[in-house]
Chain A
Amino acid sequence: MKPIRLTLRPVFAVALTALSLSALAQSVASTDSLTRALSPAVVTADQVSQQQVTNPLEAINGRVAGVTIQKSNNGAAAMNAVRVRGTTSVTGGNDPLIIIDGVFGDLNTLSSIYPSDIQSFTVLKDASETAQYGSRGASGVIEVVTKKGAAHRATVTYNGSVGFTSVVRNLNMLDAAGYRASVKGVGDMLIDKGYDTNWQQAIQQTAFLQDHHVAFMGGGDRSDYRVSLGYMDHEGVILHDRMRNLTSSMNMHQRMFGNLLTIEVGMFGNVQKDLTAVYDVQKTFYSAQAWNPTFGTARNSGGGWDGFTYANQINHPMALMDSRTQGKTTHLSTHAKLTFDLTPHWTLALFGAYSHNEVETSQFLPTSIWSGGKGYRSSAKTESWLGTATLTWDKTMGPHHLNVMGLAEIERDIHQGFYTTTTGFSSNAIGIDAIQSGAVTLWDGTGSYRNAPSIASFMMRLSYDFGKRYSLTATMRADGTSKFAHGNKWGYFPSLSASWNIANEAFLRDVDWLDDLKWSAGYGLAGNLGGVDSYRVQNLLTPAGVVPVGQNLAVSLDALFNANPDLKWEVKRSFNTGLSAALMGNRIIASIDFYTAKTIDMLYLYNVGVPPFSYNKLLDNLGSMRNSGVELAMGFTPLARRDMELNINANVACQSNKLLSLSGYYKDYWLEAPGEVDLVNLNGAGFHGGNNHIVYQMVGQPLGVFYLPHCTGLKSDGNGGYVYDIADLDGSGDINIANGKDRRVCGQAMPKVLLGSNINYRFKQWDVAIQINGAFGHKIYNGTALTYMNMNSLPGYNVLAAAPERNIQDQTATDYWLERGDYVEIDYLTLGWNVPLGEQARRVISKLRLAFTVDHLATITGYSGLTPMINSSSVGPTLGVDDKNVYPVTRSYYLGVNITF
């Protein structure tokens, strides 16, 4: 399926896209604008504005098959994890590339754009589509086009919304009475301060949010502009949590020298301020769930917080709320593009962009929660320079259409920063703004760094189209990186794609009910740097620590990891084919796509022997992994009348993943990952090390599988309590739950099937939109229940209200708490009203719309924990495991207004 975008003004499509490559692709592809409008890989401005989204990524959530968007948590400044067609690299580089008006960005940049400024999203998934972006696009590309000015019409629009978010579900822990009874019941020491506090609620608030956005646009014959200002203020449901973001963007175009030159200049800037008292997500929720409920929320007579020493892994929840972590992100990006339409066939485009991103972090942890207190400040800056030159030759000769493009591109990113930490605070009276009130600055608490990796690329592409029926595109791309050594710097990534527009064939021309039918296929290679840092190939020394030298002290330099001079590009070879059709006057559109991708030379951090290596980890290009899947997208418009319209869209993505190999030779040495490599472990009291590994990486299995002892049920421990009865899976006669012994693979952490569906119904001026998402086929380890069902944790740690009855006195991690993770979620429901305007009003206001939205309306699941919407997509220390680190379940309500003058 070709990537195609709906632009409200197709005339401008070519000229207005900063990197016009995709626009060119479009000109080669079908010109059937209706199919474009209905293309499932595109989300348009109309769709964005229909829901009062506050984060642009939420606008595509569930809309595009094969795209997974998962919010990392429910904090006000939470980041999303986005995966396009799953995880193809185990070391990194799985985030899709974000292109905003041709400028490379990341998920962070995208989150800071005001949704109302976005014209469209286009998701590129196939190798031939992403080829134009090279290695950075290996994990998929989300192209974002922001809105542009319109000629001959000066308009001002205002978008605004106000609303609130509140907690709808917390864990049901023992209340004070239940806690007292249970502690006495097991004969433990009861510390009873006489209160009855629900700590989860004590650290929560109703969060208010407001958004305002004004855009001015206009233009004349030869130029146009658009300027916008936006402000967001979102509180989070945990006390003090707040995110504020001020954005500003400007875009203008001008034509010069007849039609020879089009100049585009754009600038985007934002300042985002985050404030939170959650410095450690697990510690915060673990404390709020397990703290002794007989304690009170007020400070003690000394002005501090009462301690409870038996619970030394957690803190008084109100003491945690005294901590402050502030973030300030300042982003500025600017780009300019000169397009020379040299002849009717030759076009030269020169594009340059610069962006500057600075993240300042300040943190203060008072002495009540951090020994000696902690003051921390840091600044991390990234400057990015990008230059691209594109030369295109385009000619139509009868039924033949040929388009040849050459591209050269260079990019350099300069990362630098510093940080400093102080401790030894004698008072908590002064915090973040004078960290020198801490007496001690430890050697390893201060530092600075700089690195400046660069990438150079060349690309050649040839597209041929015959009679608007057959088209073929061949691309050759070379990417060079500074991160690898000579000989491995360059990677070469060809791709080929073909499509057949069957509907345009003579034999189908008379079939009235068939509007469009197209088959396409592609094969290609894409390179990935897999999140490799600079300097991994060189033997370089960094300051490593202080040693005494005679009477003095000196800093000793040392290499702190194994350099691997042979590192090279990780390559993803992918094949895709698909069929799309539009029927009955575009009332029914459907597409099916199949893809399979094999990652080879896969970058993987091996555990290696010491000796021969100096350190026990080595990053090397060994191993392979396969991802494959089928994506189905359907759209129906059963009703389309003047007063009434109903659209139903649904997409289903089935994805599977298999780790094929994690072994090979590095020089003379055979490297092989052990049969079971643990990825995710439990944390908390009594969970430090040992057999607490839950999610593993195993060759022959999907990335992230549960590998656990099998519990056949509860058995009596002989003293009235119950323990997990573990099966002797290996038949050895005794129970040994070490790897390779009494354990088995019992499910995967990533969903096998993802569902997205949205239904829109319009009746006259009223409309309703509902978005439903779902995920199936995966499991979740309920480590939270394992922890809080263990009666042995009393009195230090509170337990679930259900715990005393079951009386489990064991916290061995078995499959007892492994549950199905399937869910269906009503992501949002929006009710909109396009206010009918009288003659008088229309002179001033051309459009007025009011909308009411409920986010996270309901979740249907069999999972017994707080929510099944945990991290089930990114490989990291939380994958598939719910372990006392889940934000409470929330629901948001807001009212929006959209006025166009």
Chain B
Amino acid sequence: MINRHILSYSLLLALSLLLGACDKFLEDDPTDRLPADEAYSTLSDLRLNALGAIYRNIGGSSDSQGLQGTARGVWDLNTFSTDEAIIPTRGADWYDGGIWQNLFLHRFGNVDFTGDTWNYLFKEVLACNRALERIGEYAAAHPTEDVTLLKAEARALRAMFLFYAMDLYGRVPLFTSSNPAVQDIQLQPRSVTFKHIVSELQDVEYDLTNERSSQLGEYYGRVTRPVVQFLLAKVLLNAEVYADDDWTDGEHPDGAAMMWPVDGERLNTWQAVETYCGKIEASGYVLADDFADNFSISNEESPELIFTIPMDIYNYSNRFTQQFRSLHYNHAAALGLNGENGPCATIEAMRTFGYGTDDVDYRLGLTYYVDEVYAEKSFTPVTLDDGSPLVYYPMQVALDVSNTAWEKTAGARMHKYEIDLAAMSDGQLRRNDLVLFRLADVLLMHCEALLRDGRPGAEADGLLNRVRDRAHMEPRTATLDLVLEERMLELAWEGWRRNDLIRYGQFTRSYTDRPQLEADVKGYTLVFPIPGETLTACGSEQNPGY
């Protein structure tokens, strides 16, 4: 018989030992990841993990992620809502619950990725805030180290994401914490955000180096001074839109009356745009000899590019889906890619390019595939499954082309970028860097600023005609309308059309297949609805009209 006392004592002892051991036993010891406070302990770690995490997401590999290249994100909202491009319903293909028709028709309340796009942009703003906090902590611990450049990059990136957010949604929160409190994330009037973005960009302009971001090397893919100057020109050019806090009243402030401090001078809006464009032109950027050089596989060599999304087949996961989505199945297959046979140019775009007339723009064939098409670098026509040649019918495009003879072939398709025969993943992993900012846009902005400032003439004509001349087109006398037209020709499918149309007051007008929505004319569709989760979090009202 065993003594009961010994038994209960030993039980108690065992239990207390167990309890003591338990705390340790229940600790997690992660070995396949790193605690946040260990990942930012050196300057190069800061660059890699604080800034790198932001740069990594300028492009994207899944829907709604990235400024360009992916589907259902910033680029789609800026492109398929305009008179430049359309995704028609093609039988069973591309109906997709009506989402593309709704986007084209400006029924933005029924376009679910407006919320995903907001989440992407603000995820990046938060990443910038986090990076700045990490840089601040590092600087406090290492007072002798210089973190000026890192800080300037993070602030410039934050201003860039805020610019895209303000442009798309109008009212956005301005906050500096990566863990903001309720009162920090209240939606600000658009004019407040606008002024904040301008002053942030001006603040960091001279902290950044005047290097080229688009070319291989130390600054490849990074924000440098010309990138910030481009953003300043772009934001200021839209001052009349962004300074307007009520976009449904049909009125807007006058850009010429707004004054801005630029390098110690006070300039009106258009002069400020002129100054920033001039700075970029003075930094040695020139138009590429050939329009197509900007979109070639080795376009990092183009002297015209200001800011790009670096692309690489093997290492980066950034996707380029625009062409993949646009090309007819057989056309893509003939190029060794996959295609989804969706997006194409509108009838308005085709008319502007002079399709079917004697006066065809040189850039038509470089921008779009029309009519019969050939396998790249060969004279073999691409055929349909029944052996007949594939012919794109640019003028047959409509909102719904189901059950028509050109159900699968209506619409001009996206060319612009050189086909990369070595592309991977259905042709979505490519070597062509994706063009975000380039000099041709700067010249056209510069020209537009002069015209808006009431200074037509040789200088303005010269700027417009440098762009036209490179495209082997006859010179023109610059007017605001011709600048807008030139932008459609030169910058087609580069993600600026919505921005341009809003600035020109033409976004809500009707055009082929797009009747004006009843309330559209009042301008509520000039911004997209703000996601409900954000409204719940900050307790704000939805944008008017939604």
A442 at the interface (CB under 8 A from B): yes
On whether the beta carbons of B32 and A542 are closer than 8 Å, the reply is yes
Q: In whole angstroms, what is the CA distance A566 to B262 when docked?
A: 48
Q: 1/0 contact trace for B427-455 toward A, CB 8 Å?
A: 10100000000000000000000000000
Q: 1/0 contact trace for B99-126 toward A, CB 8 Å?
A: 1001000010110110010110011011
A545 at the interface (CB under 8 A from B): yes
Q: Which residues of A contact B1 (CB under 8 A)?
A: 343
A189 at the interface (CB under 8 A from B): yes
Q: 1/0 contact trace for A537-561 toward B, CB 8 Å?
A: 0111110111111110111111100
On whether the beta carbons of B92 and A556 are closer than 8 Å, the reply is no
Interface residues of B in 1-35 (CB under 8 A from A): 1-2, 4, 7, 11, 14-15, 18, 22, 25-35
B394 at the interface (CB under 8 A from A): no
Chain A: interface residue total (CB-CB under 8 A): 107
Q: 1/0 contact trace for A600-626 toward B, CB 8 Å?
A: 000000011111111110000000000
Q: 1/0 contact trace for B53-77 toward A, CB 8 Å?
A: 1011000010000000000100000
Interface of A: prevailing SS:
loop
Q: Which residues of B contact A796 (CB under 8 A)?
A: 91-93
Q: Which residues of A contact B49 (CB under 8 A)?
A: 541, 556-558
Stretch of A90-98, A113-121, A687-695 at the chain-chain interface:
A687-695
CB distance from B134 to the nearest CB of A (A): 11
A452 at the interface (CB under 8 A from B): yes
Q: In whole angstroms, what is the CA distance A671 to B182 when docked?
A: 12
Stretch of B266-274, B287-295, B399-407, B519-527 at the chain-chain interface:
B399-407
Stretch of B172-180, B362-370, B488-496 at the chain-chain interface:
B172-180
Select one of B32, B34, B55 contacting A449, CB under 8 A.
Answer: B32
Instruction: Give A792's nearest chain B residue, CB to CB.
Output: B91
Select one of B72, B98, B340, B534 contacting A691, CB under 8 A.
Answer: B98
On whether the beta carbons of B94 and A686 are closer than 8 Å, the reply is yes
On whether the beta carbons of A346 and B126 are closer than 8 Å, the reply is no
On whether the beta carbons of A692 and B36 are closer than 8 Å, the reply is no
CB distance from B61 to the nearest CB of A (A): 8
Centre residue among B39, B72, B92 by max chain A CB count within 10 A: B92
On whether the beta carbons of A611 and B537 are closer than 8 Å, the reply is yes
A489 at the interface (CB under 8 A from B): yes
A664 at the interface (CB under 8 A from B): no
On whether the beta carbons of B28 and A534 are closer than 8 Å, the reply is yes
Instruction: Give B91's nearest chain A residue, CB to CB.
Output: A792
A691 in contact with B97 given A558-B53, A670-B537 (CB within 8 Å): yes
Q: Which residues of B contact A442 (CB under 8 A)?
A: 314, 317, 424-425, 429
A220 at the interface (CB under 8 A from B): no
On whether the beta carbons of B408 and A609 are closer than 8 Å, the reply is no
Select one of A547, A550, A684, A737 contacting B217, CB under 8 A.
Answer: A550
On whether the beta carbons of B536 and A610 are closer than 8 Å, the reply is no
A171 at the interface (CB under 8 A from B): no
On whether the beta carbons of A792 and B403 are closer than 8 Å, the reply is yes
Instruction: Give A483's nearest chain B residue, CB to CB.
Output: B28
Q: In whole angstroms, what is the CA distance A793 to B33 when docked?
A: 47
A722 at the interface (CB under 8 A from B): no
On whether the beta carbons of B386 and A190 are closer than 8 Å, the reply is yes
CB distance from A684 to the nearest CB of B (A): 8
B532 at the interface (CB under 8 A from A): yes
Interface residues of B in 525-546 (CB under 8 A from A): 531-538
Interface residues of B in 473-508 (CB under 8 A from A): none
On whether the beta carbons of A607 and B533 are closer than 8 Å, the reply is yes
On whether the beta carbons of A443 and B98 are closer than 8 Å, the reply is no
Q: Which residues of B contact A684 (CB under 8 A)?
A: 92
Q: In whole angstroms, what is the CA distance A391 to B48 when docked?
A: 56
A551 in contact with B33 given A456-B22, A556-B53, A674-B532 (CB within 8 Å): no
Q: In whole angstroms, what is the CA distance A342 to B313 when docked?
A: 70
On whether the beta carbons of A719 and B403 are closer than 8 Å, the reply is yes
Select one of B95, B328, B384, B424 contacting A423, CB under 8 A.
Answer: B424
Q: In whole angstroms, what is the CA distance A346 to B4 when docked?
A: 9
Q: Which residues of B contact A670 (CB under 8 A)?
A: 536-537
Interface residues of B in 180-226 (CB under 8 A from A): 180-182, 184-185, 216-218, 220-221
Q: Which residues of A contact B411 (CB under 8 A)?
A: none
Q: Which residues of B contact A444 (CB under 8 A)?
A: 61, 317
Q: In whole angstroms, what is the CA distance A809 to B531 when docked?
A: 33
A372 at the interface (CB under 8 A from B): yes
Centre residue among B56, B113, B310 by max chain A CB count within 10 A: B56
A454 in contact with B25 given A188-B407, A424-B424, A550-B217 (CB within 8 Å): yes
B275 at the interface (CB under 8 A from A): no
On whether the beta carbons of B536 and A538 are closer than 8 Å, the reply is no
On whether the beta carbons of B123 and A610 are closer than 8 Å, the reply is yes
A556 in contact with B316 given A610-B119, A612-B182, A691-B110 (CB within 8 Å): no
CB distance from A194 to the nearest CB of B (A): 13
Instruction: Give B405's nearest chain A residue, CB to CB.
Output: A187
On whether the beta carbons of A738 and B110 are closer than 8 Å, the reply is yes
Instruction: Give A738's nearest chain B residue, CB to CB.
Output: B110
Select one of B26, B29, B52, B338 contacting A371, CB under 8 A.
Answer: B338
CB distance from B278 to the nearest CB of A (A): 30
Q: Which residues of A contact B221 (CB under 8 A)?
A: 547-548
Q: In whole angstroms, what is the CA distance A811 to B93 when docked?
A: 10
Centre residue among A309, A441, A551, A684 by max chain B CB count within 10 A: A309
B372 at the interface (CB under 8 A from A): no
Q: Which residues of A contact B251 (CB under 8 A)?
A: none
Q: Which residues of A contact B178 (CB under 8 A)?
A: 614
Q: Which residues of B contact A187 (CB under 8 A)?
A: 403, 405
A408 at the interface (CB under 8 A from B): yes
Q: Which residues of B contact A371 (CB under 8 A)?
A: 338, 424-427
A191 at the interface (CB under 8 A from B): yes
On whether the beta carbons of A342 and B2 are closer than 8 Å, the reply is yes
Select one of B14, B56, B216 contacting A547, CB under 8 A.
Answer: B56
Interface residues of A in 296-346 (CB under 8 A from B): 307-310, 312, 342-343, 346
On whether the beta carbons of A482 and B7 are closer than 8 Å, the reply is no
A219 at the interface (CB under 8 A from B): no
Q: Which residues of A contact B339 (CB under 8 A)?
A: 312
On whether the beta carbons of B30 and A538 are closer than 8 Å, the reply is yes
On whether the beta carbons of B534 and A610 are closer than 8 Å, the reply is yes
Q: Which residues of A contact B122 (CB under 8 A)?
A: 610-611
On whether the beta carbons of A687 and B96 are closer than 8 Å, the reply is yes
B350 at the interface (CB under 8 A from A): no
On whether the beta carbons of B30 and A451 are closer than 8 Å, the reply is yes
On whether the beta carbons of B126 and A450 are closer than 8 Å, the reply is no
CB distance from A314 to the nearest CB of B (A): 11
On whether the beta carbons of B534 and A540 are closer than 8 Å, the reply is no
Q: In whole angstroms, what is the CA distance A238 to B384 when docked?
A: 32
A481 at the interface (CB under 8 A from B): yes
B260 at the interface (CB under 8 A from A): no
Q: In whole angstroms, what is the CA distance A814 to B7 when docked?
A: 70
A279 at the interface (CB under 8 A from B): no
On whether the beta carbons of A612 and B185 are closer than 8 Å, the reply is yes
On whether the beta carbons of A609 and B313 are closer than 8 Å, the reply is no
On whether the beta carbons of A738 and B36 are closer than 8 Å, the reply is no
A482 in contact with B28 given A307-B333, A609-B537, A792-B403 (CB within 8 Å): yes
B279 at the interface (CB under 8 A from A): no
24 sampled A-B residue pairs with Cβ under 8 A? A307-B333, A310-B385, A312-B340, A343-B1, A371-B338, A372-B424, A423-B424, A454-B25, A480-B26, A482-B27, A535-B33, A540-B35, A540-B36, A546-B56, A548-B220, A557-B34, A559-B36, A609-B531, A610-B123, A688-B96, A721-B403, A787-B92, A796-B92, A797-B92
Give me the interface of A with B, judged by CB distance under 8 Å. Answer: 186-191, 307-310, 312, 342-343, 346, 371-372, 389, 391, 406, 408, 410, 412, 423-424, 440-444, 448-456, 458, 480-483, 489, 534-535, 538-542, 544-551, 553-559, 607-616, 668-672, 674, 684-692, 719, 721, 736-738, 787, 790, 792-794, 796-797, 809, 811-813
**New contact pairs (14) apart from A611-B173, A615-B123, A811-B92, CB-CB < 8 Å:** A189-B384, A312-B338, A346-B4, A442-B314, A443-B316, A452-B28, A539-B36, A554-B48, A609-B534, A689-B112, A690-B97, A719-B403, A797-B92, A813-B97
